Structure 1
Amino acid sequence: MRKLVFGAFFLIILVSILVSFSLYNGKHNKELEESINSAFKENSVEKIDLNSLTDFDWDKAYIFPPYTPQESINEQIGINFKDPSSIDYRDDIYLIVFVNHDKVVQYAEISRENGDVSTPDDALTPSNATLKINRDVF
């Protein structure tokens, strides 16, 4: 009986660990958000180099505009990522998702308060990591 209880307890712990790993969505990088949003407020800034603002490893970054459906995010990044920003219902932000070795490592919400971001057709890479700011929409 004791072995059965121990086995069930061990199985519950193992399943809990596996579920927590599968639900990992990367870190919400609020410092990066603040840096990008501060750059947006400076009217002289037209481009932002993500390399100068990131201090973590990434090989691709995806930028999603307002109202992007969850299915489109997962299809584009090729990973099952549960969007914590609910961008599919929002028009006030862009979502930027950083991927390293096929895992989401960090994400940030970019406010549209001071402008929009030109969204590239493909993912950004460290060798091509420039965000272009468009202020003509206001």
Structure 2
Amino acid sequence: MRKIIYIVLTVVFFAILFSGCAQNNKISDKIIELIDKQSVKDESVCNISIKEVADFEWDKMAIFKVGSSNKEISELLGVQYNDSVDLTSGIIFVSKNKIVYKEEILYNPEIPSKLSVSLDEQQPELNCIVYTPDNAILKGTRKKVDGEYYYNISNIK
């Protein structure tokens, strides 16, 4: 019986350990960390080079906001994107015509996400932007609301 408990506890320990490591590899977490490093006050604006946070090979990256369509994302990236985009924004990386990383941010007005995506408000029809490693620089903002920091990435206008 002790042996079984020991094995179960060991498995649970490693599962927690590895899930914590996987969590830290999220691009959104790295973006937040970079914004924090560059911020000097509660409300800050800085430039984020995606080359600094994406530690894998990629040819194209798209950021998309709520309101994007699969067709729009697929056409801009040149690959088929079929995941649900309902009430979702996110980041997608492509290498050699294959999606190598994606992260979706679900929109929930009652429980705001730590990181949100927005695009140029002067162009409301703009739902998605594609970048290459050479031009993937985004504007990062940090704002403190009710004692919590919230972050946003957007295109540089």
State TM-score, norm by structure 1: 0.58
Identity of aligned residues (%): 30
Provide structure 1 residue ranges, at least 5 long, that are not aligned to the other structure. Answer: 1-28
* CA–CA separation in structure 1 for the residues paired with 2:134 and 2:57: 13
After superposition, residues 106-121 of structure 1 pair within 5 angstroms as 106-109=101-104, 113=114, 116-118=117-119
> Contact 1:40–1:115 at 8 Å: present in 2 too?
no
After superposition, residues 7-46 of structure 1 pair within 5 angstroms as 31-39=26-34, 42=39, 43-46=43-46
* CA–CA separation in structure 2 for the residues paired with 1:132 and 1:61: 15
How far is the alpha carbon of 1:70 from its aligned partner? 1.7
Aligned pair partner of 2:130 in 91, 102, 123: 123
1:100 paired residue number: 95
Aligned residue type for 1:65: K
* CA–CA separation in structure 1 for the residues paired with 2:104 and 2:31: 9
> Contact 2:44–2:142 at 8 Å: present in 1 too?
no
State TM-score, norm by structure 2: 0.52
* CA–CA separation in structure 1 for the residues paired with 2:118 and 2:34: 12
Provide structure 2 residue ranges, at least 5 long, that are not aligned to the other structure. Answer: 1-23, 107-112, 121-125, 146-157
Distance 1:39 1:49, change over 3 A: same
1:47 paired residue number: 47
The structure richer in helix per residue is 1
How far is the alpha carbon of 1:34 from its aligned partner? 1.2
The answer to which of 44-53 and 117-126 deviates more is 117-126
Distance 1:133 1:118, change over 3 A: farther
2:87 paired residue number: 90
The structure richer in strand per residue is 2
* CA–CA separation in structure 2 for the residues paired with 1:99 and 1:124: 10
* CA–CA separation in structure 2 for the residues paired with 1:129 and 1:103: 18
* CA–CA separation in structure 1 for the residues paired with 2:75 and 2:33: 31
Q: Does 1:73 align with 2:73?
A: yes
> Contact 2:61–2:92 at 8 Å: present in 1 too?
yes
* CA–CA separation in structure 1 for the residues paired with 2:105 and 2:49: 14
2:140 paired residue number: 133
